[in-house]
């Protein structure tokens, strides 16, 4: 794939048939995917063929190969001009995202209680591939209430406080969810998992604020140097996976009737305004609400443990998703247009002054939460005015090794011992699970953040370091 370097952090894939727009990759040279091992740049070009796509097919600094869209891919389609929605542009873990809670306690005051805290969090956090959850729903009606109400319904039921909603994307729930578009199989997979971590790269981590780059913004977010935090990374579990599977199949069948041809069947799509497009968006919104309730429940369990062990409370900094398609108004050519913005492994990063921000955050912008690989630092950033990719930025470090490659790379080593030697307490993960997520499997998070900032996508506020991790 031929790339034209436009600036140190921006590369262009020139438009050629059947591309409708160019591709744009925000990265430094060291972060560009290895064309021999990773075909994500080819996927960037494929996404550029989608009907109604506006501006460019974008890739974030953490870009790597995914299903249809690259992970770290952003694309917006014009709803009124036949623009499509593609489940591959959201992914299987719908509304997978990050929730950050800040403790009213500093690292220096934790003393010898870290082990007890990690034991408590490990015991209170359901995780792994199977069932087990903080909240055991009574029936389908209660699950439907979760699918419609997300974090709002969880808070109504006593799992959290009202402030949690103002510090959550969409005030805790997407309003146009349609549980009727969620299949019975998806319901079966999700019914017993509300308030569970899952496996893979999902985690609950105790962290400390190591550096603050912008005191004023950090204060507005509720962060200070030395402070303890809890970060939760998880999504919509089996329910979201099944919804993606179901709607990809449905769209594959109807594309010819809409005259849509894509270079990769994994880009199955339908016009946003079509029956199939609306059905997917309604089901996707239901899964997004499930994911937010999921993180709300896990945060509730973590709060109880944190208060019991330390006597301190946890306040929500923010909750943001990085696998969603949203109908938003942007001005790509100066005039307002309704766009379906796909963010697949990419985080919305609203700038200061944006109407969708709560009053206390509007002057400083939206908190952007970017976890690093296990055992490395994570970053809190903020959105900036004039972001070149529909107010989007990266979502993590980005894999450079498959899970099998990562496991082979640490053969004969003890990942748990290596992490504990770095001062990171580990609870609940198998050796294989740890091996798949070791830092060598990922790009360097600091380099990724430098590229995102250098490309004008966001701005650093604080860096957090891990003290202990709970994994499936």
Catalytic residues: 395
Instruction: Please state, in angstroms and rounded to a whole number, the distance separating the CA atoms of residues 68 and 91.
Output: 9
Instruction: Give backbone dihedrals phi and psi of 26, rounded to 5 degrees, phi first.
Output: -90, 105
Instruction: Please state, in angstroms and rounded to a whole number, the distance separating the CA atoms of residues 48 and 23.
Output: 7
Distance of CA 342 to the CA centre of its chain: 12
Give the closest residue to 468 by CA, choosing from 423, 438, 436. Answer: 423
Instruction: Please state, in angstroms and rounded to a whole number, the distance separating the CA atoms of residues 228 and 230.
Output: 7
Instruction: Please state, in angstroms and rounded to a whole number, the distance separating the CA atoms of residues 174 and 109.
Output: 39
Q: Do the beta carbons of residue 346 and residue 76 sit within 8 Å?
A: no
């Amino acid at each position: 794939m031929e790339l034209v370097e436009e600036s140190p952090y921006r590369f262009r894939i020139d438009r050629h048939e059947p591309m409708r727009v160019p591709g744009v990759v925000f990265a430094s040279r060291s972060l560009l995917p290895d064309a021999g091992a990773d075909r994500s740049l080819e996927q960037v070009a494929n996404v550029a063929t989608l009907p109604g796509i506006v501006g460019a097919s974008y890739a974030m600094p953490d870009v790597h190969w995914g299903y249809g869209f690259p992970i770290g891919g952003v694309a917006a389609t014009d709803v009124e001009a036949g623009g499509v929605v593609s489940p591959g542009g959201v992914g299987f873990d719908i509304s997978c995202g990050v929730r950050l809670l800040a403790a009213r306690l500093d690292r220096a005051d934790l003393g010898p209680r870290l082990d007890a805290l990690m034991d408590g969090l490990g015991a209170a956090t359901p995780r792994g591939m199977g069932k087990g959850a903080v909240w055991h729903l009574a029936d389908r009606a209660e699950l439907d209430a979760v699918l419609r109400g997300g974090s709002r319904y969880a808070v109504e039921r006593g799992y959290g406080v009202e402030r949690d909603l103002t510090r959550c994307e969409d005030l805790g729930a997407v309003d146009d969810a349609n549980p009727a578009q969620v299949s019975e199989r998806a319901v079966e997979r999700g019914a017993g998992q509300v308030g569970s971590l899952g496996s893979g790269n999902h985690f609950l981590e105790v962290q400390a604020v190591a550096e603050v780059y912008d005191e004023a913004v950090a204060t507005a977010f509720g962060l200070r140097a030395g402070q303890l935090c809890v970060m939760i990374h998880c999504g919509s579990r089996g329910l979201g996976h099944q919804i993606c599977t179901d709607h990809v199949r449905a769209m594959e069948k109807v594309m010819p009737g809409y005259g849509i041809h894509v270079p990769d069947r994994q880009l199955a799509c339908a016009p946003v305004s079509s029956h199939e497009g609306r059905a997917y968006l309604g089901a996707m919104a239901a899964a997004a609400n499930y994911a937010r309730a999921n993180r709300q429940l896990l945060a509730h369990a973590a709060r109880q443990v944190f208060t019991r062990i330390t006597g301190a409370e946890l306040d929500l900094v923010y909750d943001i998703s990085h696998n969603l398609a949203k109908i938003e108004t942007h001005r790509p050519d100066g005039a307002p247009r309704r766009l379906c913005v796909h963010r697949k492994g990419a985080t919305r990063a609203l700038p200061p002054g944006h109407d969708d921000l709560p009053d206390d955050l509007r002057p400083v912008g939206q908190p952007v939460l970017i976890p690093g690989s296990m055992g490395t630092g994570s970053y809190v950033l903020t959105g900036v005015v004039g972001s070149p990719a529909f107010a989007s930025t990266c979502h993590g470090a980005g894999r450079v090794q498959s899970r099998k490659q990562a496991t082979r790379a640490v053969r004969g080593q003890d990942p748990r011992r290596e992490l504990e030697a770095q001062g990171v307490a580990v609870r609940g993960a198998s050796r294989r699970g740890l091996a798949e997520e070791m830092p060598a499997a990922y790009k360097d998070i600091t380099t990724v953040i430098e590229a995102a900032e250098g490309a004008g996508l966001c701005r650093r506020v604080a860096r957090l370091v891990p003290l202990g991790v709970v994994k499936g």
